[in-house]
Protein backbone atom coordinates (compact mmCIF):
# COMPACT_ATOMS: atom_id res chain seq x y z
CA UNK A 1 0.00 0.00 0.00
CA UNK A 2 2.81 2.38 0.91
CA UNK A 3 4.64 1.56 -2.33
CA UNK A 4 1.49 2.22 -4.34
CA UNK A 5 1.00 5.56 -2.57
CA UNK A 6 4.64 6.53 -3.26
CA UNK A 7 4.23 5.56 -6.90
CA UNK A 8 1.07 7.64 -7.30
CA UNK A 9 2.70 10.61 -5.59
CA UNK A 10 5.59 10.39 -8.05
CA UNK A 11 3.17 10.21 -10.97
CA UNK A 12 1.35 13.26 -9.64
CA UNK A 13 4.56 15.23 -9.22
CA UNK A 14 5.76 14.19 -12.71
CA UNK A 15 2.41 15.25 -14.21
CA UNK A 16 2.62 18.57 -12.38
CA UNK A 17 6.14 19.21 -13.71
CA UNK A 18 5.03 18.22 -17.19
CA UNK A 19 1.90 20.38 -17.21
CA UNK A 20 3.10 23.65 -15.66
CA UNK A 21 6.84 24.50 -15.50
CA UNK A 22 7.82 22.62 -18.68
CA UNK A 23 5.47 24.53 -21.04
CA UNK A 24 6.36 27.79 -19.30
CA UNK A 25 10.08 27.15 -19.76
CA UNK A 26 9.68 26.23 -23.43
CA UNK A 27 7.41 29.20 -24.16
CA UNK A 28 9.89 31.80 -22.84
CA UNK A 29 11.94 33.58 -25.53
CA UNK A 30 15.61 32.69 -25.68
CA UNK A 31 17.61 34.71 -23.17
CA UNK A 32 20.57 36.95 -23.89
CA UNK A 33 22.97 34.17 -22.81
CA UNK A 34 22.30 32.18 -25.98
CA UNK A 35 19.80 29.80 -24.42
CA UNK A 36 22.06 28.51 -21.64
CA UNK A 37 19.54 29.37 -18.94
CA UNK A 38 16.82 27.45 -20.77
CA UNK A 39 19.16 24.51 -21.34
CA UNK A 40 20.09 24.21 -17.68
CA UNK A 41 16.44 24.65 -16.71
CA UNK A 42 15.43 21.82 -19.05
CA UNK A 43 18.15 19.55 -17.75
CA UNK A 44 17.16 20.07 -14.12
CA UNK A 45 13.41 19.86 -14.80
CA UNK A 46 13.54 16.74 -16.97
CA UNK A 47 15.96 14.94 -14.68
CA UNK A 48 13.55 15.52 -11.78
CA UNK A 49 10.58 14.45 -13.93
CA UNK A 50 12.29 11.24 -15.05
CA UNK A 51 13.42 10.46 -11.53
CA UNK A 52 9.78 10.56 -10.46
CA UNK A 53 8.75 8.39 -13.41
CA UNK A 54 11.55 5.90 -12.75
CA UNK A 55 10.28 5.49 -9.16
CA UNK A 56 6.71 5.09 -10.41
CA UNK A 57 7.75 2.47 -12.99
CA UNK A 58 9.74 0.58 -10.39
CA UNK A 59 6.69 0.47 -8.12
CA UNK A 60 4.64 -0.68 -11.11
CA UNK A 61 7.18 -3.46 -11.74
CA UNK A 62 7.03 -4.48 -8.09
CA UNK A 63 3.23 -4.84 -8.47
CA UNK A 64 3.62 -7.00 -11.58
CA UNK A 65 3.09 -4.26 -14.14
CA UNK A 66 6.06 -5.43 -16.23
CA UNK A 67 5.64 -9.18 -15.87
CA UNK A 68 4.59 -9.34 -19.53
CA UNK A 69 8.29 -8.82 -20.37
CA UNK A 70 9.03 -12.41 -19.22
CA UNK A 71 12.11 -11.55 -17.19
CA UNK A 72 13.04 -11.76 -13.52
CA UNK A 73 11.92 -8.98 -11.22
CA UNK A 74 15.49 -7.82 -10.61
CA UNK A 75 16.07 -7.56 -14.35
CA UNK A 76 12.86 -5.53 -14.64
CA UNK A 77 14.17 -3.04 -12.09
CA UNK A 78 17.47 -2.74 -13.95
CA UNK A 79 15.63 -2.26 -17.24
CA UNK A 80 13.51 0.50 -15.69
CA UNK A 81 16.60 2.41 -14.54
CA UNK A 82 18.46 2.08 -17.84
CA UNK A 83 15.42 2.90 -19.98
CA UNK A 84 14.40 5.91 -17.90
CA UNK A 85 17.96 7.20 -18.07
CA UNK A 86 17.89 6.80 -21.86
CA UNK A 87 14.53 8.57 -22.08
CA UNK A 88 15.82 11.37 -19.86
CA UNK A 89 18.75 11.88 -22.22
CA UNK A 90 16.79 11.81 -25.48
CA UNK A 91 13.91 13.97 -24.24
CA UNK A 92 16.35 16.55 -22.88
CA UNK A 93 18.19 16.64 -26.20
CA UNK A 94 14.88 16.78 -28.05
CA UNK A 95 14.01 19.98 -26.18
CA UNK A 96 17.46 21.57 -26.06
CA UNK A 97 18.34 21.08 -29.73
CA UNK A 98 15.05 22.16 -31.28
CA UNK A 99 16.53 25.50 -32.39
CA UNK A 100 19.73 24.01 -33.82
CA UNK A 101 20.48 23.23 -37.46
CA UNK A 102 20.72 19.60 -38.52
CA UNK A 103 24.51 19.63 -38.76
CA UNK A 104 24.71 20.57 -35.06
CA UNK A 105 22.56 17.64 -33.94
CA UNK A 106 23.82 14.04 -33.50
CA UNK A 107 22.38 12.01 -36.37
CA UNK A 108 20.81 9.44 -34.04
CA UNK A 109 18.67 12.02 -32.24
CA UNK A 110 17.66 14.14 -35.26
CA UNK A 111 14.31 12.37 -35.85
CA UNK A 112 13.25 13.24 -32.27
CA UNK A 113 14.05 16.95 -32.42
CA UNK A 114 11.40 18.54 -34.73
CA UNK A 115 8.87 20.37 -32.52
CA UNK A 116 10.58 18.63 -29.55
CA UNK A 117 7.95 15.93 -29.98
CA UNK A 118 9.85 13.27 -28.00
CA UNK A 119 10.01 15.60 -25.01
CA UNK A 120 6.18 15.87 -25.05
CA UNK A 121 5.19 12.32 -26.01
CA UNK A 122 7.59 10.03 -24.12
CA UNK A 123 6.75 11.30 -20.59
CA UNK A 124 3.02 11.00 -21.38
CA UNK A 125 3.49 7.37 -22.48
CA UNK A 126 5.20 6.51 -19.20
CA UNK A 127 2.69 8.47 -17.08
CA UNK A 128 -0.19 6.72 -18.89
CA UNK A 129 1.31 3.25 -18.32
CA UNK A 130 2.37 3.78 -14.69
CA UNK A 131 -0.96 5.35 -13.70
CA UNK A 132 -3.07 2.55 -15.18
CA UNK A 133 -0.87 -0.31 -13.93
CA UNK A 134 -0.68 1.10 -10.41
CA UNK A 135 -4.42 1.67 -10.39
CA UNK A 136 -5.93 -1.31 -12.26
CA UNK A 137 -9.46 -0.03 -11.77
CA UNK A 138 -8.70 2.97 -13.99
CA UNK A 139 -7.36 0.87 -16.83
CA UNK A 140 -9.63 -2.14 -16.76
CA UNK A 141 -11.23 -1.25 -20.09
CA UNK A 142 -7.95 -0.35 -21.83
CA UNK A 143 -6.67 -3.09 -24.19
CA UNK A 144 -3.35 -4.52 -23.09
CA UNK A 145 -1.68 -3.65 -26.38
CA UNK A 146 -2.80 -0.02 -26.14
CA UNK A 147 -1.41 0.09 -22.60
CA UNK A 148 1.96 -1.48 -23.34
CA UNK A 149 2.74 -0.35 -26.89
CA UNK A 150 3.35 3.37 -26.13
CA UNK A 151 5.74 2.49 -23.29
CA UNK A 152 7.52 -0.11 -25.40
CA UNK A 153 7.92 2.27 -28.32
CA UNK A 154 9.13 5.17 -26.17
CA UNK A 155 11.58 2.98 -24.27
CA UNK A 156 12.79 1.10 -27.35
CA UNK A 157 13.32 4.26 -29.39
CA UNK A 158 15.18 5.89 -26.50
CA UNK A 159 17.50 2.91 -26.04
CA UNK A 160 18.12 2.70 -29.78
CA UNK A 161 18.88 6.41 -30.03
CA UNK A 162 21.18 6.25 -26.99
CA UNK A 163 23.13 3.35 -28.49
CA UNK A 164 23.29 5.27 -31.76
CA UNK A 165 24.74 8.32 -30.02
CA UNK A 166 27.30 6.14 -28.24
CA UNK A 167 28.28 4.63 -31.60
CA UNK A 168 28.56 8.09 -33.15
CA UNK A 169 30.67 9.29 -30.23
CA UNK A 170 32.98 6.29 -30.58
CA UNK A 171 33.39 6.77 -34.34
CA UNK A 172 33.89 10.52 -33.92
CA UNK A 173 36.50 10.00 -31.20
CA UNK A 174 38.38 7.59 -33.46
CA UNK A 175 38.23 10.08 -36.31
CA UNK A 176 39.46 12.89 -34.05
CA UNK A 177 42.31 10.72 -32.84
CA UNK A 178 43.26 9.85 -36.42
CA UNK A 179 43.10 13.54 -37.36
CA UNK A 180 45.37 14.43 -34.43
CA UNK A 181 47.87 11.77 -35.48
CA UNK A 182 47.77 13.03 -39.09
CA UNK A 183 48.30 16.60 -37.85
CA UNK A 184 51.28 15.54 -35.72
CA UNK A 185 52.82 13.59 -38.60
CA UNK A 186 52.20 16.46 -41.00
CA UNK A 187 53.68 18.97 -38.56
CA UNK A 188 56.74 16.78 -37.99
CA UNK A 189 57.18 16.33 -41.73
CA UNK A 190 56.89 20.08 -42.33
CA UNK A 191 59.33 20.77 -39.51
CA UNK A 192 61.84 18.30 -40.93
CA UNK A 193 61.46 19.85 -44.36
CA UNK A 194 62.10 23.33 -42.95
CA UNK A 195 65.10 22.09 -40.97
CA UNK A 196 66.50 20.50 -44.13
CA UNK A 197 66.12 23.76 -46.02
CA UNK A 198 67.78 25.70 -43.20
CA UNK A 199 70.62 23.21 -42.92
CA UNK A 200 71.44 23.46 -46.64
CA UNK A 201 72.11 27.19 -46.12
CA UNK A 202 74.67 26.66 -43.35
CA UNK A 203 78.40 26.66 -44.04
CA UNK A 204 79.95 24.15 -41.64
CA UNK A 205 83.31 25.93 -41.78
CA UNK A 206 81.91 29.13 -40.30
CA UNK A 207 78.65 27.93 -38.70
CA UNK A 208 79.72 24.60 -37.27
CA UNK A 209 77.66 24.89 -34.06
CA UNK A 210 74.42 25.12 -36.07
CA UNK A 211 75.33 22.11 -38.20
CA UNK A 212 76.42 20.04 -35.20
CA UNK A 213 73.04 20.52 -33.50
CA UNK A 214 71.38 18.73 -36.45
CA UNK A 215 73.30 15.51 -35.76
CA UNK A 216 71.03 14.67 -32.81
CA UNK A 217 70.52 10.92 -32.86
CA UNK A 218 66.74 11.44 -32.74
CA UNK A 219 66.60 13.56 -35.90
CA UNK A 220 65.41 12.14 -39.20
CA UNK A 221 68.17 10.12 -40.93
CA UNK A 222 68.25 12.33 -44.08
CA UNK A 223 68.72 15.43 -41.90
CA UNK A 224 71.51 13.80 -39.89
CA UNK A 225 73.25 12.51 -43.00
CA UNK A 226 73.27 15.95 -44.59
CA UNK A 227 74.69 17.47 -41.38
CA UNK A 228 77.37 14.78 -41.11
CA UNK A 229 78.30 15.24 -44.76
CA UNK A 230 78.89 18.94 -44.14
CA UNK A 231 80.84 18.25 -40.93
CA UNK A 232 83.18 15.71 -42.58
CA UNK A 233 84.14 18.37 -45.12
CA UNK A 234 85.52 20.71 -42.41
CA UNK A 235 89.34 20.56 -42.70
CA UNK A 236 90.13 21.59 -39.10
CA UNK A 237 87.18 19.74 -37.54
CA UNK A 238 89.05 18.45 -34.49
CA UNK A 239 90.39 21.88 -33.59
CA UNK A 240 86.95 23.41 -33.90
CA UNK A 241 85.42 20.65 -31.77
CA UNK A 242 88.04 21.22 -29.05
CA UNK A 243 87.33 24.95 -29.12
CA UNK A 244 83.59 24.31 -29.13
CA UNK A 245 83.74 22.12 -26.00
CA UNK A 246 85.21 25.08 -24.14
CA UNK A 247 82.79 27.63 -25.57
CA UNK A 248 79.14 28.62 -25.05
CA UNK A 249 78.14 26.22 -27.83
CA UNK A 250 79.54 23.17 -26.04
CA UNK A 251 76.10 21.51 -26.08
CA UNK A 252 76.11 21.30 -29.90
CA UNK A 253 79.44 19.48 -29.74
CA UNK A 254 78.11 17.11 -27.06
CA UNK A 255 75.12 16.35 -29.27
CA UNK A 256 77.51 15.43 -32.06
CA UNK A 257 79.78 13.35 -29.82
CA UNK A 258 76.79 11.55 -28.33
CA UNK A 259 75.57 10.49 -31.77
CA UNK A 260 78.85 10.01 -33.69
CA UNK A 261 82.38 8.84 -33.11
CA UNK A 262 84.83 11.62 -34.06
CA UNK A 263 87.79 10.82 -36.29
CA UNK A 264 90.15 11.08 -33.32
CA UNK A 265 88.68 11.08 -29.82
CA UNK A 266 91.74 11.18 -27.58
CA UNK A 267 92.39 14.91 -27.97
CA UNK A 268 88.72 15.62 -27.20
CA UNK A 269 88.65 13.71 -23.90
CA UNK A 270 89.89 16.53 -21.65
CA UNK A 271 87.94 19.30 -23.43
CA UNK A 272 84.83 17.13 -22.91
CA UNK A 273 85.46 17.29 -19.16
CA UNK A 274 85.60 21.09 -19.44
CA UNK A 275 82.25 21.00 -21.25
CA UNK A 276 80.79 18.98 -18.36
CA UNK A 277 81.87 21.69 -15.94
CA UNK A 278 80.30 24.34 -18.16
CA UNK A 279 77.10 22.32 -18.15
CA UNK A 280 77.22 22.06 -14.35
CA UNK A 281 77.48 25.84 -14.00
CA UNK A 282 74.72 26.43 -16.58
CA UNK A 283 72.40 24.06 -14.72
CA UNK A 284 73.18 25.75 -11.42
CA UNK A 285 72.28 29.16 -12.90
CA UNK A 286 69.09 27.75 -14.43
CA UNK A 287 67.91 26.40 -11.09
CA UNK A 288 68.79 29.64 -9.30
CA UNK A 289 66.92 31.81 -11.80
CA UNK A 290 63.92 29.65 -12.72
CA UNK A 291 60.53 30.65 -11.33
CA UNK A 292 59.16 27.16 -11.99
CA UNK A 293 61.12 23.90 -12.09
CA UNK A 294 60.06 20.49 -13.36
CA UNK A 295 61.35 16.98 -12.64
CA UNK A 296 62.77 16.62 -16.17
CA UNK A 297 64.83 19.83 -15.93
CA UNK A 298 68.24 19.26 -17.61
CA UNK A 299 67.49 15.57 -18.12
CA UNK A 300 68.50 15.84 -21.78
CA UNK A 301 71.79 17.48 -20.78
CA UNK A 302 72.50 14.75 -18.21
CA UNK A 303 71.97 12.09 -20.85
CA UNK A 304 74.39 13.84 -23.22
CA UNK A 305 77.07 14.28 -20.56
CA UNK A 306 76.92 10.68 -19.38
CA UNK A 307 76.87 9.30 -22.92
CA UNK A 308 80.02 11.23 -23.86
CA UNK A 309 81.68 10.35 -20.54
CA UNK A 310 81.10 6.64 -21.14
CA UNK A 311 82.37 6.94 -24.71
CA UNK A 312 85.60 8.79 -23.82
CA UNK A 313 86.49 7.29 -20.44
CA UNK A 314 88.74 4.75 -22.19
CA UNK A 315 91.21 7.59 -22.83
CA UNK A 316 92.09 7.72 -19.15
CA UNK A 317 90.37 10.98 -18.12
CA UNK A 318 88.62 10.89 -14.73
CA UNK A 319 85.20 12.37 -15.32
CA UNK A 320 83.83 11.67 -11.82
CA UNK A 321 84.72 15.11 -10.33
CA UNK A 322 83.02 16.93 -13.21
CA UNK A 323 79.98 14.65 -12.95
CA UNK A 324 79.80 15.30 -9.21
CA UNK A 325 79.95 19.05 -9.88
CA UNK A 326 77.08 18.61 -12.33
CA UNK A 327 75.14 16.58 -9.76
CA UNK A 328 75.69 19.17 -7.02
CA UNK A 329 74.02 21.79 -9.21
CA UNK A 330 70.69 20.08 -8.54
CA UNK A 331 71.14 20.68 -4.81
CA UNK A 332 70.74 24.43 -5.27
CA UNK A 333 67.98 25.71 -2.94
CA UNK A 334 64.63 26.04 -4.68
CA UNK A 335 61.02 26.14 -3.59
CA UNK A 336 59.02 24.01 -3.98
CA UNK A 337 61.34 21.05 -3.68
CA UNK A 338 61.60 19.08 -6.94
CA UNK A 339 62.90 15.56 -7.37
CA UNK A 340 64.97 15.81 -10.56
CA UNK A 341 65.22 12.73 -12.75
CA UNK A 342 68.59 13.98 -14.00
CA UNK A 343 69.96 13.92 -10.43
CA UNK A 344 68.95 10.28 -10.06
CA UNK A 345 70.56 9.49 -13.43
CA UNK A 346 73.82 11.13 -12.33
CA UNK A 347 73.74 9.38 -8.93
CA UNK A 348 73.44 6.02 -10.68
CA UNK A 349 76.42 6.78 -12.91
CA UNK A 350 78.56 7.90 -9.96
CA UNK A 351 77.62 4.77 -8.00
CA UNK A 352 78.67 2.57 -10.91
CA UNK A 353 81.87 4.56 -11.37
CA UNK A 354 83.07 3.81 -7.83
CA UNK A 355 82.84 0.09 -8.62
CA UNK A 356 84.85 0.31 -11.84
CA UNK A 357 88.49 -0.75 -11.72
CA UNK A 358 90.80 2.26 -11.75
pLDDT for 182 equals: 82
pLDDT for 290 equals: 83
Is the predicted pLDDT of residue 37 greater than 90, yes or no?
no
pLDDT for 199 equals: 86
The answer to which of 68-77, 133-142, 281-290, 306-315 has the lowest mean pLDDT is: 133-142
| DSSP one-letter string for 111-168 | GG-GGGHHHHHHHHHHHHHHHHHHSTTTTTTS-HHHHHHHHHHHHHHHHHHHHHHHHH
Is the predicted pLDDT of residue 341 greater than 90, yes or no?
yes
**pLDDT tens digit string along 196-248?**
888 888 888 888 998 998 898 888 888 889 998 999 888 988 999 999 999 99
The answer to which of 25-39, 135-149, 201-215 has the lowest mean pLDDT is: 25-39
d(Cα 12, Cα 19) in Å, to the nearest integer? 10
- Stretch 277-301: mean pLDDT, rounded? 91
Would you tell me the crossing angle of helices 117-134 and 73-96 to the nearest 10 degrees? 150
Closest CA to 298 of 310, 309, 282: 282
**pLDDT tens digit string along 48-99?**
999 999 999 999 999 899 999 989 999 999 999 999 999 999 999 999 998 8
pLDDT for 30 equals: 66
Q: Are 15 and 127 in contact (CB under 8 A)?
A: yes
d(Cα 313, Cα 263) in Å, to the nearest integer? 16
Q: What is the mean pLDDT of the chain?
A: 90
End-to-end CA distance of the chain: 92
Is the predicted pLDDT of residue 189 greater than 80, yes or no?
no
> Which residue intervals of 28-72 are DSSP H helices?
36-62
Q: Are 210 and 202 in contact (CB under 8 A)?
A: yes
Q: Are 267 and 292 in contact (CB under 8 A)?
A: no
pLDDT for 32 equals: 63
Amino acid sequence: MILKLAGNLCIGLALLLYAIPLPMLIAEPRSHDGGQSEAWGLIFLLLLLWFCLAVALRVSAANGGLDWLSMARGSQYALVVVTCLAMAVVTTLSGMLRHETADQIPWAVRPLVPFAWAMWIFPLAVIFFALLTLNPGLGAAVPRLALRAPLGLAGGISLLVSFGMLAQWFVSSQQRQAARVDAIVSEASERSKQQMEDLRKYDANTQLSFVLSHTNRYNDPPLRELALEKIRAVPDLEEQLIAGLRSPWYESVLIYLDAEDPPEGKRLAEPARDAFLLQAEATRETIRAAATLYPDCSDFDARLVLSVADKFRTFGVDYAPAIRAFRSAFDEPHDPKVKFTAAARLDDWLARDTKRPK
